């Protein structure tokens, strides 16, 4: 049931949709086709209107609906595995340009957050913002020690607006999944939840500051990349103070050439630095658009890449990295069956997926890519094609991989903008091969073993107690197995009995055998000493316990 505020907002949204002719898209849905004649009876359709392309109308409507919907459209534009290409391309044009709030209000927010007056906190503070977006705006400032900084301030009313619009989005997404089969395939409730998580994270500037600090630490000794320093004493969840970055915007190609920057070297360094974040650190900047990248020219054509805006970062687990490594390797070998099998074994698609059908779908989509040279093949495009195909087989939403794919496309696009002849595969091959070896090869196995040995040793002393507990629970019938198949559920009781008897028999036999081996070490006369003592007491205990366990297993046969 909608609240009064949600109802008012919904009516406002409907007016915007009608203004942009999007009521036509609603009536095109399957459930309305039988009553589509009603569309012509609506007053606003009595006269002809010049219609723009559907994707453009959606973009214009989102822009009119306000900053939260603009942000939603931007995130949707990254979901090329869900949206048609025309819509994804149009939504990518959305600009987060929001009128700034006053400098006086910004100062009030800063003073309240930092518990001090502006002139006590800063030597200078520019009330005119450098930039303004839907979540926050940025001002220039100078610290008492003369350092040039930027001050990012969260909008005072944004949280209330976000909660209002998100609650309505959740209601509409849930209704859409219930009534519209076409929309249900896109899982709108998951998309809205993903959007909510991203927005709420951007509201907390402490999180963004921590992201920047981590990335700076990862590249503290790098001559190729620079990350600004956070002023932690002046940073809260609502205000962040950070070193001000100066440089040439990466999109200013003429300015870069005039500064003597080696464009080919810069393009290669950009690709390598991003993949280093993914491969080496498993922590990468996921918003690498031109507005967030600045170039600091050096000598002999060298240049340092400086990045800003750390609100959207992502990381990959060991599992994600292994998934990507093995799939890229199989793809490059055109082993589509291996790609399909990996998806099933890893749980990315349901276990009942037919591997042969999945393999055929992957081959159909990916094989044409090999008709072109490797020079023209994109990592991001490969991932996109795999995700689009897997979605047809009910692959769940994996936000971290979607962000990786989107950012790869952006970085590759920037690289080729800087140098149209850039060979992305040649640039990344050494790093990529090292990644493969580390995650999939023998060195990966050795590293994994070295990492896990301390954990195994730590848990080893408690293993006898766990075994005893397991035996006790089995004896008392407290071990339960959860089945997801109705047919297997009907056999659960009988299978539990057989499993219990088999396990008891194995344990009992092992104990008896262990007792016999120990007794044999003493010799028949019991005079051969071993480190556990001079008497075969332990062997008799093991044999007795084993016999008891075997008796329990035999006792259960009649049940």
* Same structural domain, 46 and 104: no
pLDDT (0 to 100) of residue 150:
96
**Last residue within a domain, chosen from 410, 440, 470:** 440
Higher pLDDT: 167 or 44? It is: 167
287 is catalytic: yes
What is the mean pLDDT of the segment spanning 203-228? 94
- Shared domain check, 294 and 432: yes
Nearest to 74 by CA among 64, 87, 157: 87
Confidence check: pLDDT of 145 > 70 = yes
pLDDT above 90 (res 128) = yes
Whether residue 544 lies inside any domain: the answer is yes
The pLDDT assigned to 112 comes to: 94
Cβ atoms of 533 and 516 within 8 Å: the answer is: no
Q: What is the average pLDDT across 340-350?
A: 79
| Lowest-confidence region among 42-46, 156-160, 338-342, 471-475 | 42-46
**Cβ atoms of 394 and 369 closer than 8 Å:** no
Least confident of 287-291, 329-333, 364-368, 489-493: 489-493
Residues 504/521, Cβ–Cβ less than 8 Å: no
pLDDT classification of 304: cutoffs 50, 70, 90? very high
User: Which has more confidence, 9 or 103?
Assistant: 103
Please determine, for residue 205, whether its predicted confidence score (pLDDT) is greater than 60. Answer: yes
Percent residues over pLDDT 70 in the chain:
68
Same domain, 170 and 265: no
C-beta separation of 192 from 166 below 8 A: yes
Quick one: 543 and 505 in the same domain?
A: yes
Angle at 249 between CA 244 and CA 250, to 5 degrees: 130
Residue 219 lies in a domain: yes
When pLDDT is averaged across residues 542-554 and rounded to a whole number, the result is: 56
Paired residues of 154 in beta bridges: 136
Please check whether residues 278 and 364 belong to one and the same domain. Answer: yes
Would you say residue 249 lies in a domain? no
Q: Is 347 a domain residue?
A: yes
Report the range out of 177-191, 218-232, 363-377 with the highest average pLDDT. 218-232
pLDDT at 29: 46
Taking the model in full, what pTM does it have? 0.68
Q: Reply yes or no on whether the pLDDT at 115 is more than 90.
A: yes
CA distance 557 to 498: 8
Catalytic residue among 165, 262, 287, 423: 287
Sign of the four-CA dihedral 227, 233, 236, 238? negative
- Other beta carbons less than 10 A from residue 77's beta carbon: 19
Percentage of the chain exceeding pLDDT 90? 23
Distance, in Å, from the CA atom of 375 to the CA atom of 368, rounded to the nearest integer, reads 15
Give Rg (Cα) of the chain: 31
CB proximity list for 378: less than 8 A, separation 6 or greater: 408, 409, 412, 424
Task: Note whether 147 and 243 are within 8 A (CB).
Answer: yes
Q: Model confidence over 34-81: pLDDT tens digits?
A: 444 444 545 545 455 556 788 888 888 888 887 778 877 877 776 666
**Any idea which of 4-8, 446-450, 455-459, 555-559 has the lowest mean pLDDT?**
555-559
Least confident of 197-206, 457-466, 488-497: 488-497
- Structural domains of the chain, count: 4
Q: Identify the sign of the CA torsion 451, 452, 457, 462.
A: positive
Burial string for 234-270 (b: 16+ CB within 10 Å, else e) reads bbbebbbbbbbbebbebeeeeebeebebbbebbbbbb
Report, as an integer, the average pLDDT of 417-444.
71
The boundaries of the domain holding residue 138 are 98-244
Same domain (yes/no): 264, 411: yes
Same domain, 380 and 432: yes
Q: First-to-last CA distance in the chain?
A: 54
pLDDT for residue 371 is more than 60: yes
Classify residue 431: in a domain, yes or no.
Answer: yes
Q: What value does the mean pLDDT of the chain take?
A: 76
Q: Is 251 helix (H, G, I), strand (E, B) or coil?
A: coil
pLDDT at residue 12 in the model: 78
If you write DSSP's letter for every residue of 495-531 in order, what string do you get?
HHHHHHHHHHHHHHHHHHHHHHHHHHHH-TTS---BT
pLDDT surpassing 80 at residue 216: yes
Q: Do 132 and 238 share a structural domain? A: yes
Distance, CA of 265 to CA of 189 (rounded, Å): 44
User: Strand 239-243 relative to strand 148-154: parallel, antiparallel, unpaired?
Assistant: antiparallel
**166 lies in the same domain as 303:** no
Condensed to tens digits (0 to 9), the pLDDT of residues 450-465 reads: 666 666 566 667 767 7
- The reply to whether 168 and 282 lie within a common domain is no
Query: Which candidate, 180, 178, 176, 177, places its Cα nearest to that of 30?
Result: 180
Do 84 and 107 share a structural domain? no
Same domain, 283 and 376: yes
HSE (CB half, 13 Å, CA atoms) of 80? 21
**What tokens appear for 552 in the block?**
């329990």
Element (H, E) at 194: helix 188-203
Q: What are phi and psi of 121, to 5 degrees?
A: -85, -35
Residue 137 to residue 100: CA distance in whole angstroms: 7
Question: Is 472 within a domain?
Answer: no
Q: What is the pLDDT at residue 156?
A: 87
Q: 447 lies in a domain?
A: no
CA 40/CA 170 separation, integer angstroms: 30
Distances (CA, A) of 462 to 102, 457, 511: 63, 10, 19
Write down which residue in 187, 221, 244 finishes a domain. Answer: 244
3 state DSSP class of 127: coil
Residues 109, 110, 116, 120, CA torsion sign: negative
């Amino acid at each position: 049931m909608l609240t009064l505020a949600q109802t008012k907002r919904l009516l406002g949204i409907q007016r915007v949709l009608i203004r942009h002719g999007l009521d036509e898209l609603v009536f095109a849905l399957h459930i309305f086709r039988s009553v589509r004649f009603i569309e012509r009876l609506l007053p606003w359709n009595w006269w002809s209107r010049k219609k723009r392309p559907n994707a453009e109308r959606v973009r214009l409507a989102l822009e009119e609906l306000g900053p939260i919907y603009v942000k939603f459209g931007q995130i949707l534009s990254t979901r090329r595995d869900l949206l048609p290409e025309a819509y994804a391309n149009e939504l990518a044009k959305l600009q987060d340009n929001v009128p700034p709030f006053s400098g006086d209000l910004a100062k009030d927010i800063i003073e309240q957050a930092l518990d001090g007056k502006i002139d006590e906190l800063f030597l200078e503070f520019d009330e005119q913002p450098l930039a303004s977006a839907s979540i926050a705006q940025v001002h220039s400032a100078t610290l008492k020690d003369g350092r040039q900084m930027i001050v990012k301030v969260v909008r005072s009313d944004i949280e209330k607006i976000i909660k209002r619009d998100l609650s309505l989005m959740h209601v509409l997404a849930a209704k859409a999944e219930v009534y519209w089969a076409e929309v249900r395939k896109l899982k709108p409730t998951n998309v809205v939840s993903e959007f909510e998580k991203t927005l709420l994270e951007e509201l907390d500037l402490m999180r963004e500051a921590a992201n920047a600090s981590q990335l700076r630490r990862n590249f503290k000794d790098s001559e190729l990349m620079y990350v600004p320093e956070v002023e932690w004493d002046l940073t809260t969840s609502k205000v962040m103070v950070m070193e001000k970055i100066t440089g040439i915007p990466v999109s200013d190609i003429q300015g870069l050439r005039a500064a003597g920057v080696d464009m080919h070297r810069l393009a290669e360094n950009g690709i390598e630095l991003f993949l280093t974040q993914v491969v080496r650190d498993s922590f990468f900047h996921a918003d690498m658009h031109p507005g967030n990248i600045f170039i600091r020219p050096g000598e002999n054509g060298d240049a340092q890449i400086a990045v800003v805006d750390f609100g959207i970062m992502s990381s990959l687990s060991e599992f994600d990295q292994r998934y990507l490594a093995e799939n890229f390797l199989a793809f490059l070998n055109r082993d589509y069956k291996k790609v399909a099998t990996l998806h099933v074994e890893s749980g990315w698609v349901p276990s009942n997926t037919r591997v042969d059908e999945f393999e055929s779908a992957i081959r159909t989509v990916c094989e044409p890519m090999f008709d072109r040279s490797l020079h023209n093949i994109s990592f991001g495009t490969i991932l996109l094609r795999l995700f689009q195909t897997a979605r047809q087989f009910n692959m769940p939403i994996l936000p971290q991989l979607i962000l990786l794919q989107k950012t790869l496309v952006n970085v590759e696009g920037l690289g080729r903008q800087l140098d149209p002849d850039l060979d992305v595969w040649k640039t990344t091959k050494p790093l990529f091969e090292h990644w493969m070896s580390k995650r999939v090869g023998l060195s990966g196995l050795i590293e994994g073993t070295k990492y896990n040995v301390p954990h195994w040793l730590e848990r080893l002393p408690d293993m006898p107690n766990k075994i005893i507990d397991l035996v006790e629970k089995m004896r008392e019938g407290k071990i339960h197995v959860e089945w997801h198949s109705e047919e297997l559920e009907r056999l659960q009781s009988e299978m539990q009995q057989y499993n219990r008897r088999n396990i008891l028999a194995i344990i009992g036999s092992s104990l008896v055998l262990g007792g016999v081996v120990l007794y044999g070490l003493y010799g028949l006369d019991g005079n051969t000493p071993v480190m556990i003592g001079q008497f075969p007491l332990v062997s008799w205990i093991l044999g007795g316990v084993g016999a008891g366990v075997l008796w329990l297993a035999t006792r259960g046969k009649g049940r």
